[in-house]
Amino acid sequence: MLVLPTAAPVLLAAAADDAAPAVSDTRLIVAAVVGIAVIVALIVWVKLHPFLALMLGAGVLAVAAGLPYVDAFTSFTKGLGETVAGVGILIALGAIIGKMLIDSGGADQIVDSILARTPVQRLPWAMAFAAFIIGIPLFFEVGVVLLIPVVMLVARRSKVSMIVVGIPALAGLSALHGLVPPHPGPLIAIDALGADLGLTLGLGLLVAIPTVAVAGPLLAKPMARWVPLDPPTEILGGSERADDARRPSFATALTVVLLPVVLMLARTLAETVGFQDSGVGQVLDFVGTPLVALLITALVSLVLLGTRQGRDRSMVSKLVDSSFAPIASILLIVGAGGGFKQTLVDSGVGDVIAKGLANAPISPLLAAWLVAVLIRVATGSATVATVTAAGIVAPLAEGLSPTHVALMVLAIGAGSVFLSHVNDAGFWLVKEYFKMTVGQTFKTWSLMECVLSVTALVVVLLLSLVI
């Protein structure tokens, strides 16, 4: 019997690979276009759930790129598993924190405390600030449902248009959703590009502040003239707000909101200053790890917003359990996006597109933004736009400094919120809550999203020149 040397199988495999016909770049580009087109068609026209659409699109892309049928979903399942393993726990912990804030009345307490100290002429800025704070731990849809009754109440009491106070609140929520972890989109982009989470968080907050100011309070004034809306006569969801007697203090609620931000930024500061090897630095490095920071915050929220508010341990456990159901769909979509991204990478499509973008006479940050914009406008999903764009432009991040990799994450996030229109559930959510026509919604919500996206990109590009 002939015994091959140890290296022989490797050499034979290499020879087989060399003998196999190379897949042309043109075929890979066509495969990517067909795969994305399938996803868009299934989501927009067939109304298929994005999880199934992304899964089918990944299979079509793999086959079109020349992979064997039996391996069509191999990369997809691998990417899904890695993505959920990387960010799924963070999303779950964020859901627990958000649930405790809402059910305890802590979120209400933050909003009401800010508004109680604000004169009427400063209400747009106060609503933007409240949404900015609330938007750090809460998902966009949850924040909208929470803040819309507040917007209505403020507009009614102050006798001002819903646009004046509503657009700033929506701008704050949308900016945090697209730019700042632990929201799903930024987490996925951070994972795909290998960015530093603490650095991205700090830069994301820095980008979000002027972005919210421009797209929120400053833009709301002319919008109120373009689309005059009378103050509401009914307050939706008012009965769902927590009883004042059961609410935690403003300081307690704010502590829970800002704790993970402080822990993660402290870790980044320790690394930047260079004392991460000291005893204190090692502690900060540990507690500032995203998983540990959110776990600590979740446990703190169970005490400060749970047992200390008079709830027994059994009730707190039920609240934690109920926080997981609303994020099941988000986890599946995020995981499927990771699977599609992995299919792009393994088939070679990502490298081909990245080379084309790298050779294009535009900044990699602008290229990342444009890819996210195209997918966002086509699919209507900020999360799908983020995860798909991150997979396409990930090769562009190689060789960039950690700061510019973080800025690329933010450029993708900025592009992912561009032009919400009729294929986006958020468009209809805002339209119905504000009781506007489709045209009025385009002139307000859709325009605000465009201004927010472009402003964030401009700030990102300016930061790239100085850091």
3-state SS, the chain, equals CCCCCCCHHHHHHHHHHHHCCCCCHHHHHHHHHHHHHHHHHHHHCCCCCHHHHHHHHHHHHHHHCCCCHHHCCHHHHHHHHHHHHHHHHHHHHHHHHHHHHHHHCHHHHHHHHHHHCCCHHHHHHHHHHHHHHHCCCCCHHHHHHHHHHHHHHHHHHHCCCHHHHHHHHHHHHHHHHHHCCCCHHHHHHHHHHCCCHHHHHHHHHHHHHHHHHHHHHHHHHHHHHHCCCCCCCCCCCHHHCCCHHHCCCHHHHHHHHHHHHHHHHHHHHHHHHCCCCCHHHHHHHHHCCHHHHHHHHHHHHHHHCCHHHCCCHHHHHHHHHHCCHHHHHHHHHHHHHHHHHHHHHHHCHHHHHHHHHHHCCCCHHHHHHHHHHHHHHHHCCHHHHHHHHHHHHHHHHCCCCHHHHHHHHHHHHHHCCCCCCCCCHHHHHHHHHHCCCHHHHHHHHHHHHHHHHHHHHHHHHHHHHHC
Give the pLDDT of residue 233.
65
Give the pLDDT of residue 5.
40
Q: Provide the residue ranges of all domains of the chain, joining segments of one domain with +.
A: 26-466
Give the pLDDT of residue 175.
93
Give the pLDDT of residue 30.
87
Give the pLDDT of residue 345.
73
Spans in the chain with pLDDT lower than 50: 1-21, 237-242
Give the pLDDT of residue 304.
93
Give the pLDDT of residue 2.
37
